Amino acid sequence: MTFPVLAALLWGTALAQVPAPAPQAAAVAQGVPAVESDSTRVLRLRALVEAAERALEADDEDAAADRADEADVLTADWPLDLLKLPEVQALLQRLKDVQDQVGVEEAAESEPGLKAPEEIVTLSGDELRAEQERVKAAEKGATYDYPIDLNDRVLTWVSLFTTTKRGFMENALGRASMYMPMIRQVFAEEGVPADLAYLAVIESGFRNEANSKAKAVGMWQFIRSTGRIYGLNGNAWLEERRDPIKATRAAARYLKRLYQISGDWYLAASSYNAGPLTLDRAIQNVGSRNFWDLARSRWLRTETKNYIPELCAAILVGRNPERYGLRIVPLMPYSYETVAVSSMTSLTVLARCADTDAATLKALNPELLRGSTPPGNYLLRVPPGRAMDCLRQLARMPANKRLDFQNYTVRKGDTLAKVAKRFKVSGEDLLTANDITAAQFKPGKRLLVPPAPSLALDDRDLTAKSAKPKVLGDHPLPPLPVVPRDLAPTEEGEKPAPEPPAVAPSRELPSAAPAPVAPMRESRPAPAPRSPEAAAPRPRVKPEGETPVSVRAKPGDTLAKLARTHGLTLSEVLRLNPEAAKALHPGDEVRLSGVVAHAKTASAGVKAAPAPASPMHRVVKGETLAAIARKHDVELGDLRTWNHLKGDRIQVGQKLRVTP
């Protein structure tokens, strides 16, 4: 679910009908509405993008990611007319280049989901045939409401889930037994195939506390901006992306929207992982809407190529785990009663009132980030049968007994920041917990100090008084994206495949959940095109003379500056000059001809020779062997062979041969 800002452009009229955002919280507090002009917004976006590019050139990926996140949040509620401006489009593309550079070198994520960073070696020969027979026997008579292609990639993942990843699968399906009744109900209400519930196996292993390097949170792994579009808010006290019910509802609506855009459940699930814009770009370059065609191309990352095989295998194994030899320990279904809590109250106090323990309340309310409910009203979930007792206890409880926070008296010389740092909270936390202003923070003031948050979130995500974001509701849908007929590869004498029909502009979506399909369809990826040249994406060729072959860096030059000057993207210049990624010195030669070389011969209809590539690659901080293989468009096994590597361990500064 990456890069939702550009992806929002695919949502067309849906975003256009979202009301303008509320004034900024700070301006509301002062009584003066903050109306920011479009030109000011664009200037702020430009400053953030340039700061991110400078940080990337300085090899400070954390700072680059932070600036990119700020730009993402800045543009999240911009109107569609502003997003369509050419100047804004250019800035958003530069922002996407920065995000690609930061994300391409990340290793496997630390949360307990799958999201494999490398290609999975498929089964072959007798192993493949044996696995196929085992799956057929296990799934005999079963029907699915999500299409299952039983090919070698899917069979490989079935084998992995029942062997090397058996422990992970048993634990994930054990947790799934708790939430599956709720998920199936929500998906049925939203018109989404029930089998898509097993998408949470890949995303998080059904863990509400899952947290990725890309700052995706919760069972369904929403990033901040996409979560806000679908109604998942967050502040210093709670994070609704961790709420299993609210996040499941948001995931169902997001998946349904992606299906309405793509018209295919495989493409919808792939878009959930990679983003609609990435899938649309891959479709246009490959000339096919078949996922297996896209998976054989270089236009999808390995994680996305594995995503659909993982999902199909998770559905097959998850529906009948005992037939595959898995031992699942079922958990009690997620059930509760609710108690209206009118003011901030400690969970330990509430646990005594409900005759349970704080750990149980935290498990029922995973969105709570602290050891208390947030300031103001909150609907707390308690174990079934405990609500009335809890309400009676709260009604008789004095206000000063509701909190078991620490007491602290402000001393001479104390500042708000100093006291907040001492107790590992924010200054806003102290002010909110004590219902005071910064001016009332004076020596002698007695304070209640709330507990520190249990989840470290980005400061921009902890805005306790921020206005609620606008939720994307049901709106008439734009037509589906259609691949031009002249790009669709067809066999000789075969009629071109019909274009997918446009979705009718209706609020009712009866076709969102397809009828149950046959038990399984033995299928194989669509046959490769006859001619490799026919299937290859068309190279982008600029007019002759637009860009020189190379230039010499001058004092003050950066790669980003040279890219802008010569009409290239930062990612293109970095690809051509990997040795200059860390530092660029005056007099260094910077190659600019990777995209525009041989423009004259290409325009004349003569096949252009590829630009010469350096045979060596120097490893920089954060790179993995798999990322280097993708960067140079070579096989991971070949890269190991050429460099006499037994595994995938590499070191910063190490030189690798990237050509035979």
pLDDT in tens, 400-435: 788 767 778 899 889 988 888 888 877 877 887 777
547 falls within a domain: yes
Average pLDDT over residues 261-276: 91
What is the pLDDT confidence band of residue 213, given thresholds at 50, 70 and 90?
confident
**Cβ atoms 140, 514 nearer than 8 A:** no
What is the pLDDT confidence band of residue 193, given thresholds at 50, 70 and 90?
very high
More confident residue, 293 or 487: 293
Report the pLDDT value the prediction gives residue 449, as an integer from 0 to 100. Answer: 82
Report the pLDDT value the prediction gives residue 294, as an integer from 0 to 100. Answer: 92
Report the pLDDT value the prediction gives residue 103, as an integer from 0 to 100. Answer: 52
pTM above 0.95, yes or no: no
What is the pLDDT confidence band of residue 659, given thresholds at 50, 70 and 90?
confident
Same domain, 596 and 632: no
Same domain, 183 and 318: yes
Average pLDDT over residues 186-212: 93
The pLDDT of residue 478 is above 60: no
What is the pLDDT confidence band of residue 191, given thresholds at 50, 70 and 90?
very high
Report the pLDDT value the prediction gives residue 107, as an integer from 0 to 100. Answer: 35
Same domain, 58 and 99: yes
**Cβ atoms 435, 381 nearer than 8 A:** no
DSSP string, 21-72: PPPPHHHHHHT------HHHHHHHHHHHHHHHHHHHHTT-HHHHHHHHHHHH
Report the pLDDT value the prediction gives residue 438, as an integer from 0 to 100. Answer: 85
Of 447-456, 459-468, 644-653, where does mean pLDDT reach its minimum? 459-468
Q: What is the C-alpha R_g of the chain?
A: 27
Same domain, 178 and 277: yes
pLDDT in tens, 110-119: 334 665 555 5
More confident residue, 56 or 255: 255
The pLDDT of residue 310 is above 80: yes
Of 214-218, 291-295, 323-327, where does mean pLDDT reach its minimum? 214-218
471 falls within a domain: no
Report the pLDDT value the prediction gives residue 571, as an integer from 0 to 100. Answer: 67
**Cβ atoms 247, 204 nearer than 8 A:** no
Q: Give the angle subtended at the CA of 170 by the CAs of 255 and 311, to the nearest 5°.
A: 30
pLDDT mean across residues, the chain: 75
78 falls within a domain: yes
463 falls within a domain: no
Report the pLDDT value the prediction gives residue 6, as an integer from 0 to 100. Answer: 43
What is the pLDDT confidence band of residue 551, given thresholds at 50, 70 and 90?
confident
What is the pLDDT confidence band of residue 581, given thresholds at 50, 70 and 90?
low
Of 9-18, 308-317, 354-363, where does mean pLDDT reach its minimum? 9-18
Average pLDDT over residues 271-291: 89
* DSSP-assigned beta bridge partners for residue 496: none
Same domain, 309 and 356: no
Same domain, 571 and 605: yes
The pLDDT of residue 178 is above 70: yes
Residues whose CB falls within 8 Å of the CB of residue 294, separated by 6 or more in sequence, listed in order: 270, 279, 282, 283, 286, 288, 300
633 falls within a domain: yes
Same domain, 166 and 286: yes
Same domain, 371 and 434: no
pLDDT in tens, 617-647: 888 877 888 788 878 878 888 888 888 887 7
Same domain, 276 and 315: yes
Of 165-174, 262-271, 635-644, where does mean pLDDT reach its minimum? 635-644
What is the pLDDT confidence band of residue 472, given thresholds at 50, 70 and 90?
very low
What is the pLDDT confidence band of residue 121, given thresholds at 50, 70 and 90?
low
Domain boundary (610, 627, 643) is at 610
Domain boundary (303, 331, 359) is at 331
The pLDDT of residue 307 is above 90: yes
**Cβ atoms 293, 526 nearer than 8 A:** yes
The pLDDT of residue 528 is above 90: no
Q: How many domains does the chain have?
A: 6
Average pLDDT over residues 575-598: 68
CA distances, 368 to each of 371, 388, 565 (Å): 8, 22, 49
Same domain, 413 and 371: no
Pairwise CA distance, residues 657 & 660, whole Å: 8
What is the pLDDT confidence band of residue 463, given thresholds at 50, 70 and 90?
very low
210 falls within a domain: yes
* DSSP-assigned beta bridge partners for residue 657: 616
Domain boundary (570, 590, 610) is at 610
Report the pLDDT value the prediction gives residue 381, as an integer from 0 to 100. Answer: 96
More confident residue, 21 or 407: 407
DSSP string, 408-422: EEPPTT--HHHHHHH
* Domain extent for 271: 127-331
**Cβ atoms 103, 95 nearer than 8 A:** no
Report the pLDDT value the prediction gives residue 458, as an integer from 0 to 100. Answer: 44
Same domain, 202 and 283: yes
DSSP-derived letter for residue 385 is T
In the chain, % of residues over pLDDT 90:
27
Report the pLDDT value the prediction gives residue 434, as an integer from 0 to 100. Answer: 76
Residue 578 sits in a domain of what CATH number?
Answer: 3.10.350.10
Phi, psi of 71 (to 5 degrees): -65, -35
Report the pLDDT value the prediction gives residue 7, as an integer from 0 to 100. Answer: 42
Tokens coding 269: 């699930």
**Cβ atoms 95, 52 nearer than 8 A:** yes
pLDDT in tens, 85-104: 888 888 887 887 777 666 54
363 falls within a domain: yes
Pairwise CA distance, residues 421 & 414, whole Å: 11
639 falls within a domain: yes
Tokens coding 406: 């620490």
380-394, 428-442, 444-458 — most confident range = 380-394
What is the pLDDT confidence band of residue 565, given thresholds at 50, 70 and 90?
confident
Pairwise CA distance, residues 479 & 577, whole Å: 41
> Which among 330, 291, 323, 326 is positioned nearest to 310, based on CA atoms?
291
In the chain, % of residues over pLDDT 70:
71
Q: With the C-alpha atoms ordered 270, 273, 279, 282, is the resulting torsion angle positive or negative?
A: negative
Same domain, 361 and 410: no
